[in-house]
Structure 1
Amino acid sequence: MSFDETSGRAGWMSLMACAAPADLAALMPREIPGHDWLRAPETGTAMVRGRTGATGTPFNLGEMTVTRCALRLADGSEGHAHVQGRDRGHATRAALIDALMQGPRAAEIRAAVLDPLAEKAMAERRARAGKAAATKVNFFTMVRGEG
């Protein structure tokens, strides 16, 4: 998912969930405020659903591992996160950023964390599209010179 000014909370939560855990960890602010757990990081599974032809009847594709958590900062801001896999640190960092984005540091966090993550995601998307375009086959019909 692309992230921009208009995508709001759903956009930044998706961006953090899709980001590599090491990338999010490297961009975290130095000063992390204290927090209380509303739900400590826990790992479980979620059903992934698909649709036939992307528009047809939904069906259960299978299960995937998900880690979720929720926390509250001292100022009362709550942060929530669901990330793929078992990385509790990734879920915790995503929830902290979610909570910080709802407070007075939102502009600072957007510039320091979310914008670099969005730029990296866009660069990766362009690289993938470039590789796919290199394999594109153009079919055309040639007119034969037979009369």
Structure 2
Amino acid sequence: MPDLTREQQDRQAWMSLAAKAPPARLAALMSTLGDLPGFEWLQPPEIGAVMVRGRSGGTGAPFNLGEMSVTRCSLALNSGEVGHGWVQGRDKDHARRAALLDAMMQTGRADDLRARVLGPLQDQMRDARRMRAEKAAATKVEFFTMVRGED
């Protein structure tokens, strides 16, 4: 697989953040943006399933773990930018917001969106990861072997 350009990596990061964001939080942050641009559906939201694959031990042979429902859509802003949204679950509004955010990030509003939507989402997700790590660390048990001396 060829190396991704910096622009592709950036787009991959914001699309991932929008897809993983709690739907209510993404909706709340996007509502602070005021008027959102008009768009035309290229592919209206549709619900489907994808096969989730796993590997035993992370390195073993791949196996089919099961199916997961996803919602996807694509849209084009009236100014021409195309956005795509793929989200876990069956939330069509979440997919629409993710696609709209993707398209808007390709416009001159990108810096504003980073500050008002992506930044707060990153902070919230970082805090949630930290809290999970702290909770897990609190349950950690240290095992050690005592040396009894010479036999």
Normalising by structure 1, report the TM-score. 0.92
Question: Per-residue deviation at 1:39?
Answer: 0.2
Give the letter for the 1:40 counterpart.
Answer: P
Find the aligned partners of 1:57 and 1:68 in 2 and give their Cα distance. 29
Structure 2: state its 5+ residue gaps: 1-6
Cα distance change on mapping 1:14 and 1:93 into 2, 3 Å = same
Question: Per-residue deviation at 1:142?
Answer: 2.2
Map of 1:117 onto structure 2: 121
- 1:80-99 map, 5 Å: 80-99=84-103
Secondary structure at 1:43 match in 2: strand
Does the alignment pair 1:26 with 2:28?
A: yes
Find the aligned partners of 2:46 and 2:73 in 1 and give their Cα distance. 7
Find the aligned partners of 1:125 and 1:39 in 2 and give their Cα distance. 33
- 1:75 pairs with 76, 79, 82, which one? 79
Give the letter for the 1:44 counterpart.
Answer: G
- 2:138 pairs with 118, 134, 137, which one? 134
Structure 1 ranges of 4+ moved more than 3 A = 143-147
Normalising by structure 2, report the TM-score. 0.90
Find the aligned partners of 2:100 and 2:129 in 1 and give their Cα distance. 26
Structure 1: state its 5+ residue gaps: none
Q: CA RMSD in A?
A: 1.7
Question: Per-residue deviation at 1:146?
Answer: 7.3
